[in-house]
Structure 1
């Protein structure tokens, strides 16, 4: 073991290099902190679309063009859908946010600012009347505010898209650099393999499960509105369907955060006129529990995910991550959990015993979902970004 004195800088020049490195790391950490939500969301999208990118790459044969095609066909339509749903939600904010929901989202979202956007989106003519009454200075202030808000959104979306693109294009180069830096088969290399495999499984299974629940929910809510009387219809079925899919990211909770309040709303509407109307909320509750909760959680999620992480820990990661970090904790929480578990399982036991750290040279075998090729990268034809060991000369 190296002595403590050998680890310290032995010359002024070397001390200067250490200080320069620390300053660079501090600047980098500050930049990452400012955009941590955008960067973490970009990382989530990368792992979510990586299996599709690997399939496209095997056909096109070019890392750069495969990344572009993946962005155009998968990432941008997904972001456009999220933006459209967000616009519909903002446009009809009062139909979605009662006081209890406002109190719930207040720590993470500026409800007052969104309320202003809701007024603009729902009644542009009223906005024009307000601007005419406020005079030239009011118009200028509003224009600068609107441009600033739009520019901020564009910057974050651009940065998020850039993160996804460069990770898709250069992941094999990054894997080769990391492997060369820490040594092929070293404990750090194998630990990176394990973390990459677990994160890929968690993130990709999440996006697949969320998408499935969102589609089922939107279709189910829309069909319910077709058969239910006007007084029993669900407001904004598409928006609430997407929100149900987003809520399903939390294990065991699935869509209860959305369809239970909808059921309460329907029962309240039915009790005002109980003549033959209670059958609708009862049927909705039963169908929602079966097709948006019990069946997906029992049969669909195990096939898609093949997870090895404890569901209780995953709930803590999602809920606790959101409470600690804010909205992006939904993506950062699982990442922190996976890294913590891997370090505690792979490194801590040997460190406590005082024995040399020795990890297996191979990444863990694919889970059942990965073997099927539908839920995550298979180690045969879609290797993970960290475990890739072939030549990277074809990267653009």
Structure 2
């Protein structure tokens, strides 16, 4: 008994020390993640958005690394470049895009003071030169360092975002295999992880597809409207506003209302101030925008793209509430938090409440079939068992 007791003491102390070390490492890791949480969450969003494309490329490129590089340069880099260009044009014309009603609407989400300052500098570069002349050498140095800091910060965040996307695309099979071996194949954590990964992939990819469709339709529709409308009732910056309409469509049920309703109000105001009676143009625009950018996409397009999408009411709370709680990156983090919470509630809580062994199964409804465990079934191998396909198809979770 004494020998057994003597062997127990150092073992328990060692385990306590290991737990403390693990806790310290976790705190340090979470602190580092917190500093770049917006960048990392956006990178995760982009990964899920382009993962189906990467799986298609994997079927044609033998190397996972080269497939990830191809996906990055063919999809992610052009997408970031487009977003940057549209953001630059929007900042240059912020006074045109944001009337008082729109400013009040977006004030809780963005810092309009900083955007207005950037707009003044971008739209009037001569102001920078005048300011430098007045401030002298010290002002030149200060402004140069400030500009270098802004550019460096942007480059760092874009680089980290791209690195997150690249390494997840390249190594997601290894991450899946590690997770499966760590928690045990078929364990509650294994099944829960598969469900979370599948639902997050479904939500993110369907949102990107829907946003892209609405953005293209909006840009084409706004540009087509300007071709037939008189100059006094034309839409300013139709391409930029089209892209913004697509971005606004990420919020379920809201679709493009955040953009095309203020545009309609602007057009009605311009038509009423014109003595030639041009109300037919804003009326036609409003009807067309409601039908082709709102009603038809919501009724027919989104259900097809979303498939087993989560409840639209919950998704509205996820997007709007996530943005209010976390900031701009809550647009991507909110749905992730909702999916994790919902899967835990559906998979674990019922067993815990009943006192049964925790064993989430795949038969929670049509979304839980074995075929739907992969967000892209077209990339599954025909000669592998079903469980192996869940790992080898590129999912980051089990």
TM-score by length of 2: 0.90
Q: Which residue of 2 aligns with 1:123?
A: 124
Long gaps (5+) in structure 2? 1-8
Report 1:141-180 matches (<5 A).
Answer: 141-180=142-181
Task: Tell me if structure 1 keeps the 8 A contact 2:225–2:285.
Answer: yes
Q: Which residue in the other structure is 1:267 paired with? A: 268
How far apart, CA to CA, are the structure 1 residues paired with 2:314 and 2:175?
Answer: 30
Q: Aligned runs of 1:137-216 on 2, under 5 Å?
A: 137-216=138-217
Counterpart selection for 2:390 from 369, 388, 391: 388
Structure 1 pair 346–167 and aligned structure 2 pair: CA distance change class (3 A): same
Secondary structure of 2:391's aligned partner: coil
Cα shift readout 1:315-369 (whole Å, capped 9, x = no counterpart): 111111111111111111111111111110110010011110122368986699x
Tell me, in whole angstroms, the C-alpha distance in 1 between the residues paired with 2:298 and 2:53.
24
Query: Which is further off, 26-35 or 125-134?
Result: 125-134
Deviation at 1:112, TM superposition (A): 2.4
> What corresponds to 1:4 in structure 2?
none
Aligned CA distance change for structure 1 residues 232 and 185 (closer, same or farther; 3 Å):
same
Distance 2:181 2:212 in 1: 37
Deviations 1:109-141 (A, max 9, x none): 332222222122112122112211111111111
Is residue 63–residue 169 contact of structure 1 (8 Å, CA) maintained in 2?
yes
The question of whether the paired residues in 1 share the 8 Å contact of 2:347 and 2:361 is answered with: no
Q: In 2, Cα distance between the equivalents of 1:361 and 1:99?
A: 50
Q: Is the 8 A contact 2:308 2:367 kept in 1?
A: no
Aligned partners of 1:191 and 1:346 also within 8 Å = yes
Measured in 2, the distance between the counterparts of 1:186 and 1:364 equals: 20
Unaligned ranges ≥5, structure 1: 1-7
Which residue number corresponds to residue 281 of structure 1? 282
Asked whether the 8 Å contact 1:190–1:362 carries over to 2, the reply is: no
Partner of 2:317: 316
Deviations 1:38-62 (A, max 9, x none): 1111111000000000000110111
| Pair 1:29–1:165, CA change in 2 (3 A) | same
Per-residue Cα deviation, 1:13-48 (whole angstroms, up to 9, x for no partner): 322221111111001111111111111111110000
- The more displaced of 271-280 and 216-225 is 271-280
- How far did residue 390 of structure 1 move? 4.4
Q: How many residue pairs are counted as aligned between the two chains?
A: 380
Q: What is the Cα deviation at residue 144 of structure 1?
A: 1.0
CA contact (8 A) 2:256 2:294 kept: yes
Partner of 1:102: 103
- Per the normalisation by structure 1, the TM-score is 0.90
Taking structure 1 as reference, are residues 389 and 361 closer, same or farther at Cα in structure 2, changes over 3 Å only? farther
Q: Confirm whether residue 222 of structure 1 aligns to residue 223 of structure 2.
A: yes
Question: How far is the alpha carbon of 1:391 from its aligned partner?
Answer: 10
Q: Is the 8 A contact 1:40 1:331 kept in 2?
A: yes
